[in-house]
Chain A
């Protein structure tokens, strides 16, 4: 009975004290926001509890059972009579990568005897705040002593003294890792110069091997990456992230495309950070011809994709490049072979099926193009093997057809007028007729003895190949 009455008086006094407390000690909006994650109204209990240890005795001793007050202690007042009932249970220990230990910190502050409540040093946003205006520890206060460059002998150059590595913080979830705050150093230019920082142990606090290997195609060859532990959570995390390769300043030069070969020949160690062999093969399709490409790592399953340069095409490869590539191709292996292997050329020039640029059903449509010599058929097709063979099989060049009867039935006087057409399109004649067909009439010693030579005939060719002339001039080649 006395105990209940004492408790009631205690609670009542606490309430009155809270109600009459000067406005200056009420939590200010900014401070409240800063400690929004702390749902317990510490300040309203300041008159009730004169020391932090009244509720958190285990903090100083390291006794984890006494870190939090028991629900019964709260219920002493919050019993429905003195104060509204509350339902509170001690929070579960959060999964964290902090290696912080309260005991030495409390001991240190007590030893310093710097005055005021020691807990305020970390749990208040400023030393000047009243007692019990506290919340969860403010990281800014940790960093004020331990941060890089802090004006204190306690300053640290690495995160690791206070934070465990990702590998050691095994309880952290993927979502927690995803929510890790990005340090100020990781600005937009960070990716281009992070190599120097990667030599230290700090990276391992937030990153595992898989994070680096998401971009670095040479991850297995980089010591700093190999030194990082592997972590399945990181692997799961990077699968959901999208990475963009930065463009180094050197690559912005207008002549970089032309000059990059010189750089690559000097060594591809730097290139291999971002480029796999496949990156280069988008242009240099003959990878075995370029030792620098062969020295790059290959794209591995599950590994970094590498910079994707597929689809790059020289600016002067116009849409009708296929039909107008002669001048470029004239260099032979000099230029085309940098990107194309021989089988690329044979997809058209010795194609197993008609190349696309011929259009649908070119077989039926090719006659007019052949007469007009829109392209040089003989550049790709051997006349006898390709043209003559098919025309003969289809009956278009029957050797048994009478000369007077005709396939050329739209020209009634074809036999007498064909010479002019033949001079314009002699290749079309050769596509159906064997040479001896013409000799039925055109020969110096047989047939109709009709002279085939036109105005531009150069008789000096007789000295180049007499056997050809002797086909007709069987009794001797006339003097020139």
Chain B
């Protein structure tokens, strides 16, 4: 608990908002979501006596994880200064009597957001814990964001503060990370960035972002990245989109994508896309020195409203890797490409919906074929009930662990009140082993219960607090 004040900040903010004298337009909203899961999994262990004493991984008895998560979101506004708002989203976690620890279950308290925000017509200041989603991915930091809007469709932002590990709410040198990787750096980071966003028309927008992550002792860089994103509406029916991110430190392009979407009206659309993928890895780890290679791909997606109540979708993606640059004589049937095809159907008739989809992957990494079918009844008022079946078959490319799994489950949701909802789902999977010489077992049960409530200012449209 290196920053106790930060952890109790949301509570202090809520108390301050609750105790403050009522002002014009003052209000507070508290939203809670309680989620409990039951996840059966089967650990494996290396058995040196297995496989004629050559050793192999074998399945251990099924164990389960029961992660419990409590999210609490507080939003308070009308705090005496026009445009001042306090916002916090905190999460409590626990593992309910499980023999298996679910990721992050031992992080009993996390502050996902906790900031004060002052918004005026032409600028915004936000201080505290915040997360930033951009073309660079998902970064969280404790610091300040300043945004200037000289025009309604032009925004220039700068941000900076104590950095947290990428896609995480833990500091890079926190025990949560260093305990899993002894070579993890022992310094915190400083995150600095700037972005420009412009929307010259309602259907067109462009953004550019530059971000630099430094070790807190200024001894080196963790990452230096930039990203460009754009959408351009051509007429009323065509949207061109493109994005690219660059690893400035390594002078390499990372991911890039360009697509054209044609909106044919009445729910019909066609999208064509070409892309490149190369991961951007922190300079503070050794992963980047292995010289990750790019792969390229193209995809086509079609959405068709076949009838008033029926919509169909289909997509095909092709990925191509460079030929293996090392060790290829020792690898069997790895190949240089991957094909992925999906097809889906959605039928809605009154309160009843049927969704079905099929997914096929062939190529690098493994083969997988699977389909899901779901029927649901949603009479309104937040009630729904559904049944779901699934079946998939997969063969891994790098280990002997193929099999076919069937699943059958049900889910149920109800609005106990306009502001209180309950959702329950249960799924049981049955395995028919195909190869499985190492005896991995996928017979498993999954379940979850989610309880959602809101108090204070009217939250949102009924049944969808999002």
A318-B303, A373-B279, A420-B324 known; A330+B209 contact, CB < 8 A: yes
A346 at the binding interface (Cβ < 8 Å): yes
Interface 9-mer from A113-121, A199-207, A222-230, A277-285: A277-285
CB-contact partner of B57 in A332, A369, A407, under 8 A: A407
A352-B35, A384-B181, A434-B181 known; A343+B399 contact, CB < 8 A: no
* Contact across chains for A365 and B43 when beta carbons are under 8 A apart: no
Find residues 224-271 in chain B having any chain A CB closer than 8 Å to their own CB: 224, 227, 229-231, 233, 239, 241-243, 249-252, 255, 257, 259, 261, 263, 269, 271
* Contact across chains for B331 and A421 when beta carbons are under 8 A apart: yes
How many whole Å from A89's CB to the nearest CB in chain B?
Answer: 53
CB-contact partner of A316 in B35, B135, B222, B239, under 8 A: B239
A423 at the binding interface (Cβ < 8 Å): yes
Find residues 190-249 in chain B having any chain A CB closer than 8 Å to their own CB: 195, 197, 199, 202-203, 205, 207, 209, 215, 219-222, 224, 227, 229-231, 233, 239, 241-243, 249
B142 at the binding interface (Cβ < 8 Å): no
B453 at the binding interface (Cβ < 8 Å): no
User: Which chain A residues lie closer than 8 Å to B292 at the CB level?
Assistant: 423-424, 426
Q: CA–CA, A416 to B331, complex, Å?
A: 8
User: Which chain B residues lie closer than 8 Å to A343 at the CB level?
Assistant: 31, 71, 73, 89, 466
B109 at the binding interface (Cβ < 8 Å): no
B378 at the binding interface (Cβ < 8 Å): no
* Contact across chains for A394 and B44 when beta carbons are under 8 A apart: yes
Interface 9-mer from B1-9, B97-105, B379-387: B97-105
Find residues 377-405 in chain A having any chain B CB closer than 8 Å to their own CB: 378-382, 384-386, 388-390, 392-396, 398, 400-402, 405
CB-contact partner of A285 in B83, B241, B329, B466, under 8 A: B466
* Contact across chains for A411 and B293 when beta carbons are under 8 A apart: no
CB-contact partner of B182 in A363, A380, A436, A461, under 8 A: A436
User: Which chain B residues lie closer than 8 Å to A411 at the CB level?
Assistant: 330-332, 397-398
CB-contact partner of B291 in A282, A417, A453, A460, under 8 A: A453
* Contact across chains for A332 and B133 when beta carbons are under 8 A apart: yes
* Contact across chains for B168 and A434 when beta carbons are under 8 A apart: no
* Contact across chains for A385 and B177 when beta carbons are under 8 A apart: yes
* CB-nearest residue of chain B to A298: B458
User: Which chain A residues lie closer than 8 Å to B289 at the CB level?
Assistant: 452-453, 457, 461, 468, 472
* Contact across chains for B331 and A413 when beta carbons are under 8 A apart: yes
A68 at the binding interface (Cβ < 8 Å): no
How many positions in chain B have a CB within 8 Å of any CB in the partner chain? 172
User: Which chain A residues lie closer than 8 Å to B33 at the CB level?
Assistant: 352
* Contact across chains for A409 and B56 when beta carbons are under 8 A apart: yes
* Contact across chains for B181 and A388 when beta carbons are under 8 A apart: yes
How many whole Å from B321's CB to the nearest CB in chain A?
Answer: 5
B124 at the binding interface (Cβ < 8 Å): yes
* Contact across chains for A390 and B286 when beta carbons are under 8 A apart: no
* CB-nearest residue of chain B to A465: B220
Interface 9-mer from A13-21, A80-88, A353-361: A353-361
A140 at the binding interface (Cβ < 8 Å): no
* Contact across chains for B399 and A413 when beta carbons are under 8 A apart: no
* Contact across chains for B41 and A367 when beta carbons are under 8 A apart: no
Q: CA–CA, A23 to B83, complex, Å?
A: 85
A333-B147, A371-B366 known; A385+B286 contact, CB < 8 A: no
Q: CA–CA, A453 to B292, complex, Å?
A: 9
Q: CA–CA, A360 to B391, complex, Å?
A: 10
User: Which chain B residues lie closer than 8 Å to A287 at the CB level?
Assistant: 457
Q: CA–CA, A178 to B270, complex, Å?
A: 52
Q: CA–CA, A311 to B460, complex, Å?
A: 12
CB-contact partner of A435 in B132, B287, B427, under 8 A: B287
B77 at the binding interface (Cβ < 8 Å): yes
Find residues 349-374 in chain B having any chain A CB closer than 8 Å to their own CB: 359, 361, 363-368, 370, 372
How many whole Å from A83's CB to the nearest CB in chain B?
Answer: 65
B12 at the binding interface (Cβ < 8 Å): no
A330-B243, A361-B427, A409-B400 known; A288+B231 contact, CB < 8 A: no
Interface membership of chain A positions 323-352, coded 1 if the CB is closer than 8 angstroms to chain B and 0 otherwise: 010111111111110001111111101101
* Contact across chains for A360 and B388 when beta carbons are under 8 A apart: yes
Q: Which of B135, B185, B257, B367 has most A Cβ within 10 Å?
A: B135
* Interface pairs (23), CB distance under 8 Å: A327-B243, A330-B135, A330-B197, A332-B157, A333-B145, A342-B131, A346-B89, A353-B450, A360-B390, A361-B392, A361-B407, A368-B361, A382-B166, A385-B103, A388-B181, A392-B180, A395-B46, A410-B397, A421-B334, A423-B291, A439-B183, A455-B291, A464-B224
The 9 closest A-B pairs by CB, nearest first: A371-B365, A454-B291, A413-B330, A417-B330, A420-B324, A465-B220, A382-B168, A330-B229, A417-B327
- Given A311-B461, A423-B325, 19 more A-B residue pairs with CB atoms under 8 Å apart are A288-B77, A327-B205, A334-B155, A345-B133, A346-B71, A346-B112, A349-B133, A379-B138, A385-B168, A390-B102, A394-B44, A395-B60, A410-B400, A414-B398, A417-B329, A420-B327, A425-B365, A430-B287, A436-B181
Residues of A participating in the B interface, judged by any CB pair closer than 8 Å: 255, 257-258, 277-278, 281-282, 285, 287-289, 291, 294-295, 298-299, 310-311, 315-316, 318-320, 324, 326-336, 340-347, 349-350, 352-353, 359-361, 363-365, 367-374, 376, 378-382, 384-386, 388-390, 392-396, 398, 400-402, 405, 407-427, 429-430, 434-436, 438-439, 442, 452-458, 460-461, 464-468, 471-472
